[in-house]
Amino acid sequence: TNSFGSLYNQDNFIQGQHGCGNNWARGHYTEGSELIDHLLDAVRREIEGTECMQGFQICHSLGGGTGSGMGTLLISRLREEYPDKIMSTFSILPAASPESIVEPYNTVLSLQYLIEDADQVFFLDNESLYSICRRNLKPKEP
């Protein structure tokens, strides 16, 4: 336990039995559809504790199956349930030389949902983030 442990409500940690295996469709249609109702329930609980909720900020990676597939599913479902709230995303683009061959496809499949459902999209380059961290934090291992 550390000082950051109290920042998060443990009831809001949601996990599935399987990963999405870098597959956008599994994140959006298979694994994501099994977990989305639990995820939306956690969001509703947090919203009930606020006085004047303005919108959402979603951080997700576009290269993997969970961030791209389930992330866009979450964004589209939040847009359906809360159409008048601001939807901002901080979407991390995969590296130019991806670890997985499907990362560019996951990104392209996600773009349509971001265009339709997000009010603001901030793209962050994974390579640049890594370079900044390496230069400023100087980790012993990547």
The per-residue pLDDT for range 60-85, each reduced to its tens digit, is 999 888 889 999 999 999 999 999 99
Residue 36 is predicted with a pLDDT of: 94
Residue 59 is predicted with a pLDDT of: 95
Strand partners, 103: none
Q: What is the pTM of this model?
A: 0.85
Residue 1 is predicted with a pLDDT of: 56
**Parts of the chain with a pLDDT under 50:** none
Residue 129 is predicted with a pLDDT of: 87
Residue 84, amino acid: D
CA distances from 134 to 47, 93, 104, 124, 127 (A): 36, 18, 24, 16, 10
